[in-house]
Amino acid sequence: MDVNVCCGGLPVAISDAEAEHTASVMKALGHPARVRLVAAIRAADGGEACVCDLQEVVDLAQPTVSHHLKVLVDAGLLTREKRGQWAWYALDQQAWAAVGELFA
């Protein structure tokens, strides 16, 4: 028995790239306004919401709301679709399934 190894080691659960991606996703969710935006989009009719409606949810200026939404889109948690002058946001279901797997 090797005295330098206590229990035989653990398997690597995720790769370095997966860990980096997961950390960026968690960082994107690390602001209360972003969590509230995600919850509002999830609860919205049809699972999507216009930026004009989301501004009321968090009671922040439109540029600040757009910044928070961009962080969530860049992290892959939301999708964005431009319709006329407005942007509509929806949850990226595959991304949220992957987030759920982290805690399963």
CATH value at residue 80: 1.10.10.10
Mean pLDDT score, 77-103: 87
Instruction: Give the three-state DSSP class for 50.
Output: strand
Q: Is the pLDDT of residue 1 over 60?
A: no
**Could you tell me which residues are beta bridge partners of residue 89?**
49, 80
**Could you tell me which residues are beta bridge partners of residue 48?**
90
| Residue 22 falls inside a structural domain | yes
CB distance 69 to 77 below 8 Å? no
| Whether the model pTM is above 0.85 | no
Helix (H) or strand (E) holding 51: helix 51-58
| Residue 8 falls inside a structural domain | no
Q: Is the pLDDT of residue 101 over 80?
A: no
pLDDT digits (tens, 9 = 90+) for 12-58: 677 888 888 888 888 999 999 999 999 999 999 999 999 989 998 89
Spatial distance between the Cα atoms of 22 and 101, rounded to a whole number of angstroms: 11
Angle at which helices 51-58 and 32-43 cross, to 10°: 130
| Residue 5 falls inside a structural domain | no
**Domains in the chain: how many in total?**
1
| Residue 9 falls inside a structural domain | no
Q: Supply the mean pLDDT for the chain.
A: 87
Range of the domain at 82: 14-100
